[in-house]
Structure 1
Amino acid sequence: MGDRGVEARWAEGTSPAERIVHDTLRLAVASDVRLLPQVMLRVGERGTAQEVEADLIVVDPAHGVTVVEVKGGTMLFDPGRNLWRRREAAGQEVRDPVAQVKRALAIVKRHLDQSRFPVEAIPFRWVVATPDCTLDSPGEGLLPEELLWDARALGEMAGALARTQGKPDGGTTPIGEVRAEAIARALRGRAVEGTPSDAARVAAHEQQVVALTESHRNVMHQFLRHQRVLVRGAAGTGKTMLALEVAALHASQGARVLVTCWHKLLATHLREGLLNRLSTFGSPAADDVTDDPTGRVVVTDLASLAGGAEPPAGADPREWFYEVLPDRLSPDATGGPFDVIVLDEAQDPGELWHLALAGLSVDGGRWFAFADRQQDLFGTAPALKDFVDVAHELRENFRNTRQIAAFATWFGDVETDCLTGDGPEVVKVAVPADRIVGRTTEIAKKLRRDEGYRPDQVAAIWLFHNPWKHDPDGLVAQHRGGEMVTTNSAAFKGMEREVVVLGIDLRPGLPLDDLKRLVYTAATRARSKLVVVADPDQLRQAELYILAGLFKRSSPSTPG
């Protein structure tokens, strides 16, 4: 059976014909043949960017790469009009499958070339599949018999594939097992294994962090079909990336867009990300990105959106931010309503904020919320389901290494289908409780010095300690200035860095579930390397027995 461990995840509304071709091939080909359904690729920059969704890509170690274009229904080629059309739909014209598959193959080649594969030595083929009908070849010059799989091919798919592949020619050679695996990973986002040094492993992992997977594409289908969508996903599944994608999509189409979240640091990150995304498109909407609530494409935190006022002296901050400020948010404060509202980290605001945001939408406007209930650090328990038409769950982790994801599973449900592969092992450093805060910063600085990380690649974060507690603008300036970030788990929500040193500075009386939620949120901020600093005795007192057992006293191989 083919697939080599590649699980097919199908977009909603997938043509049954695509599934038939995939499933029939899967049963017919050797176990080392990789079948990659619904592969979406984007190559190029700015105005030269090209996108394609290949229905199926076959990666065969004994041969090479074959791109399959699948057409469902009955169809035929009309030589008189030189076009393809349906038989059953009064001759309705359909897109030229040969042109489609040739374009897909060209983009696949370009993608692999950019990924530094020797494309001139790889055998590439294309084929058109029409599994719902029999179809005679329209001619050697257009679609030769060996490049056509009609309904008759379903009974002998192994032979059909062999005829399509033929023999490698033109200086090409069979790709072999190692290159087949590397190509499959490049097309699906899975990383090539790193090298022994941690710095090299981090660099290799960072090169494989990709921004578009099958799950993400499925959600984009939901965006086009529904007005109000809730996207749930564990840390690392790409929620923030999708928030930027949907905001860029609608802003580039001329809509008035609001992108908002709870924390000022994340809002800054989102604003910079959306500006970069629109600039990459070459969209004029890039000039409209602002933190001014009355602007055209607004990206700001909720408090600033509502006027940014600080609570009066003596006021309860929680009551102020969760009950008073939402009441101040209205279309009058934002210069009118928005066509599209995008809320990232939607588990943070309470229900009053959601009601206030709903009041900022035009009639029939679109609403997109992105949430991870495991990161609800503030206990707001918003009723998100009441605000959406459809919810979608992300199931792939494209940020964290397998090692980081495995560590985080002790504290929450983390997707361990890590598309970007392996990285360094998680390092545990045992220190006395009163040294955790200072030691965390020391280790982060030492890693920068010894392993050569840039300041903007590293974060030193704690569960509670926050040097910027009374100066959130200082944290934003630290981040924007490319410095090593120093803050706590809550303030760094939604953010990430390649390397994170996490100090487990416990506070007495914290419920175990809340403690686990904090550790989960903090640990998953690391993309490629994680160092955890804690006092094992204190961990046992907090009933974190498994984590305490993972620790050992510092050794020469431990940072610092």
Structure 2
Amino acid sequence: MVPEPISPSTKSAAEVALYRGLKLLDAGWSVALHSLNLPEHSWKRVSEVDFVVIGPRGVYALEVKGGHIGCTNGVWTHRDRFGAERRRRESPFAQANDAMFVLQRRLEDIVGHQTMRHVPIGYAVVAPDCNLSSQVSVEWDEEMLIDRRQLDRPDGLQRGLGRLAAYWRAKPGARDRTLDESLINTIVQALRPTFDTVPTLRQIASAAEADLVALTTNQYRTLDAYARNPRTLVEGGAGTGKTMLAAELCRRAAAAGLRVLFTCRSQVVAGFVRHQAGMQAVQVAAIANLPETGAKLVDVIVVDEAQDIVNFTDLSRLEKLLVGGLADGSWHLFLDSNNQRGLVGSCDDEALSYLRSLRPTELVLRDNCRNTRQIVAATRRATGADTGVSSAGDGPQVTVVVDPDPTRQVAAVVAELDRLDENGIPATDITLLSPLPLQDSLFSRLPARWRSRIDVLDLSNLRRPSRGRVAFARVGDFKGLESRFVLLGDVDRAVPERTRSLYVGMTRARVGLWIVIGEQPGGSEIDL
């Protein structure tokens, strides 16, 4: 089932019921996709397929119509369980027919015409609340309908889909190929990225907003692994979407009726995640705020930036809260143990070895979805860290100003802020980062016209930044967060964590990165 579980925002009771029925099928079918968006239609701008079922016997689009269905003088009437009524001249069979042909064309474009040439593709209408099989029409054959009369039987859905497949495979055109596992996987991968999107963690967003992003193959694998494994260790560099995936995993676990805890070291990140869309049913707390209790309070624990809490002191706190404890309970840790450990909190190698002894599934995220190619390349040169392969495209070149004179450093910062302002970049898209507190950083010496516009990062201005204000944060406090444009300073003064501060600070930028330092950190060892 994709997605797994069904989205909690699904309003159709008929679709929810069919989802559950499909999930219980025990043979003959491999994958069911729910709510597949198609970017073309014979006369609408876009269209949607309620379900696509895929198996060795072919690919089939299912149009689901719950509630009352009627047709008078060519006008179809649909009335839901609340009494709301809609009328349309297009029949559900015509809708399903259009969806089938769009699906066929899209698969031929992506997978290849020759590959798809003999693959059976068809459609059916599923009416779980009505008995339509007593109605006869030239518009459909009985094999193209699965209604309540069939679904009331214990194996009704299995038999209905089998009859549907046999019907379409017998049609003229030699579309009777039996799909092997490899071809099924190819078709699923072609379809899935077009619809299974999850909310990102945008910095500039109100609590009600949800920016959607299509997941990469590696990110899909992470969510698929969660559905099959009680414990996972997910390694990924900055920009690979760990916080976004951790939040989505929480949503899915909560939608399945589990008690879920999301935790991390940062109070700001915890507060921000708490207000993301769909997180209302999830307990979110920084690890310092977890209750000191022996009661088993949660079924699943999800930890973001886990390299900050992989030590026996913090793990013992999680142990007390988790049903089954760490050894037998369900936990999922997202971490960057090579490049971000030690900046805040602590990561103990013995504690990490202990977690690995509990046989979690280990996954690695390699697609950098945040940083442009220029930022990825500059970070690799400066720190030696592998930040993955950028999928965010090209952006402006990274600018580095090296000047030992503090006055000229401040002048360079002012010139860059003025340039961004003149080019129409909103101040709320800009973040000033330093390993030092604001009062000790070079940004404290900005002229009043800019100094007065700085907001020190907290949850309130992170979620709802004030118009015309620029954010400031310490590098360690900004882990897990991001900004379109980052001005990074004082890294040469970050002793002894120069390289880690540089790595975290540089990788917070999504589009533009500008660095000012007094000297090359570490001398010739670090090449900016």
TM-score (norm. length: structure 2): 0.58
Instruction: Give the aligned partner of residue 422 of structure 2.
Output: 450
Instruction: Give the aligned partner of residue 363 of structure 2.
Output: 392
8 Å contact kept, 1:71–1:128: no
Q: CA deviation at 1:234?
A: 0.7
Q: CA deviation at 1:425?
A: 1.5
Of 375, 395, 410 in structure 1, the residue corresponding to residue 340 of structure 2 is: 375
Go from structure 1 to structure 2 and tell me whether the alpha carbon gap of 1:478 and 1:539 turns closer, same or farther (over 3 Å shift): same
Instruction: Give the aligned partner of residue 247 of structure 1.
Output: 250
Q: CA deviation at 1:468?
A: 10
Amino acid at match of 1:451: N
Instruction: Give the aligned partner of residue 521 of structure 1.
Output: 504
Go from structure 1 to structure 2 and tell me whether the alpha carbon gap of 1:208 and 1:362 turns closer, same or farther (over 3 Å shift): closer
Deviations along 1:144-184, whole A, 9 cap, x unmatched?
535444489x9xx9xxxxxxxxxxxxxxxxxxxxxxxxx99
Amino acid at match of 1:277: G
| 1:197-236 alignment runs, 5 A limit | 210-236=213-239
Instruction: Give the aligned partner of residue 546 of structure 1.
Output: 527
Amino acid at match of 1:546: D
Go from structure 1 to structure 2 and tell me whether the alpha carbon gap of 1:395 and 1:42 turns closer, same or farther (over 3 Å shift): farther
Deviations along 1:486-519, whole A, 9 cap, x unmatched?
01211111110111111144227x35xx322211
Matched residues in 1 for 2:375 and 2:101: separation?
A: 31
Matched residues in 2 for 1:461 and 1:493: separation?
A: 11
Go from structure 1 to structure 2 and tell me whether the alpha carbon gap of 1:521 and 1:505 turns closer, same or farther (over 3 Å shift): closer
8 Å contact kept, 1:465–1:488: yes
Matched residues in 2 for 1:300 and 1:271: separation?
A: 8
Deviations along 1:200-248, whole A, 9 cap, x unmatched?
xxxxxxx998351111111112111221111111111111111101111
Matched residues in 2 for 1:468 and 1:477: separation?
A: 23
SS in 1 for 2:492: coil
Instruction: Give the aligned partner of residue 145 of structure 1.
Output: 173
Of 411, 427, 431 in structure 1, the residue corresponding to residue 399 of structure 2 is: 427
Instruction: Give the aligned partner of residue 532 of structure 1.
Output: 515
8 Å contact kept, 2:456–2:473: no
Instruction: Give the aligned partner of residue 293 of structure 2.
Output: 330
Matched residues in 1 for 2:97 and 2:238: separation?
A: 32
Query: Structure 2: any 5+ residue segments left out of the alignment?
Result: 16-31, 39-51, 64-94, 121-164, 184-189, 197-209, 442-454
SS in 2 for 1:223: helix
Instruction: Give the aligned partner of residue 61 of structure 2.
Output: 99
SS in 2 for 1:347: helix
Instruction: Give the aligned partner of residue 345 of structure 1.
Output: 305
Q: CA deviation at 1:263?
A: 0.8
Go from structure 1 to structure 2 and tell me whether the alpha carbon gap of 1:258 and 1:380 turns closer, same or farther (over 3 Å shift): same
Go from structure 1 to structure 2 and tell me whether the alpha carbon gap of 1:500 and 1:150 turns closer, same or farther (over 3 Å shift): same
SS in 1 for 2:274: helix
8 Å contact kept, 2:456–2:472: no
8 Å contact kept, 2:7–2:255: no
Matched residues in 1 for 2:396 and 2:333: separation?
A: 33
| 1:265-276 alignment runs, 5 A limit | 265-273=268-276, 276=277
Amino acid at match of 1:407: A
Instruction: Give the aligned partner of residue 317 of structure 2.
Output: 356
8 Å contact kept, 2:170–2:176: no
1:304 corresponds to 2:305: no
8 Å contact kept, 1:346–1:371: yes
Matched residues in 2 for 1:129 and 1:462: separation?
A: 57
Amino acid at match of 2:511: S
Matched residues in 1 for 2:215 and 2:479: separation?
A: 21
Go from structure 1 to structure 2 and tell me whether the alpha carbon gap of 1:462 and 1:221 turns closer, same or farther (over 3 Å shift): same
Q: CA deviation at 1:449?
A: 1.4
Matched residues in 2 for 1:524 and 1:233: separation?
A: 13
Matched residues in 1 for 2:270 and 2:97: separation?
A: 37
Go from structure 1 to structure 2 and tell me whether the alpha carbon gap of 1:543 and 1:390 turns closer, same or farther (over 3 Å shift): same
Matched residues in 1 for 2:346 and 2:97: separation?
A: 46
Matched residues in 2 for 1:107 and 1:430: separation?
A: 60
Matched residues in 2 for 1:401 and 1:108: separation?
A: 37
Of 468, 471, 488 in structure 2, the residue corresponding to residue 485 of structure 1 is: 471
Matched residues in 2 for 1:459 and 1:228: separation?
A: 36
Please give the root-mean-square deviation of Cα atoms over the aligned residues, in Å: 4.8
Instruction: Give the aligned partner of residue 169 of structure 1.
Output: none
Amino acid at match of 2:423: E
Q: Among all aligned residue pairs of Structure 1 and Structure 2, give the percentage whose two residues are the same amino acid.
A: 26
Amino acid at match of 1:408: T
Matched residues in 2 for 1:523 and 1:452: separation?
A: 23
Matched residues in 2 for 1:392 and 1:434: separation?
A: 44
8 Å contact kept, 1:231–1:371: yes
Matched residues in 2 for 1:542 and 1:41: separation?
A: 50
Matched residues in 1 for 2:271 and 2:223: separation?
A: 24
Q: CA deviation at 1:48?
A: 6.7
Matched residues in 1 for 2:100 and 2:6: separation?
A: 7
Instruction: Give the aligned partner of residue 459 of structure 2.
Output: 476
Q: CA deviation at 1:271?
A: 0.9
SS in 2 for 1:375: coil
Go from structure 1 to structure 2 and tell me whether the alpha carbon gap of 1:239 and 1:109 turns closer, same or farther (over 3 Å shift): farther
Deviations along 1:95-144, whole A, 9 cap, x unmatched?
x633379989959969x99xxxxx9xxx99966649xxxxxx95678655
8 Å contact kept, 1:105–1:126: no
Higher mean C-alpha displacement, 522-531 vs 407-416? 407-416
Amino acid at match of 2:259: R
Matched residues in 1 for 2:404 and 2:422: separation?
A: 24
Say how many residue pairs are matched: 367
Instruction: Give the aligned partner of residue 167 of structure 1.
Output: none
Amino acid at match of 1:381: C
Amino acid at match of 1:539: Q
Amino acid at match of 1:397: N
SS in 1 for 2:10: helix
Amino acid at match of 1:97: V
| 1:29-108 alignment runs, 5 A limit | 46-47=9-10, 52=33, 71-72=55-56, 97-99=59-61, 106=99
Amino acid at match of 1:380: S
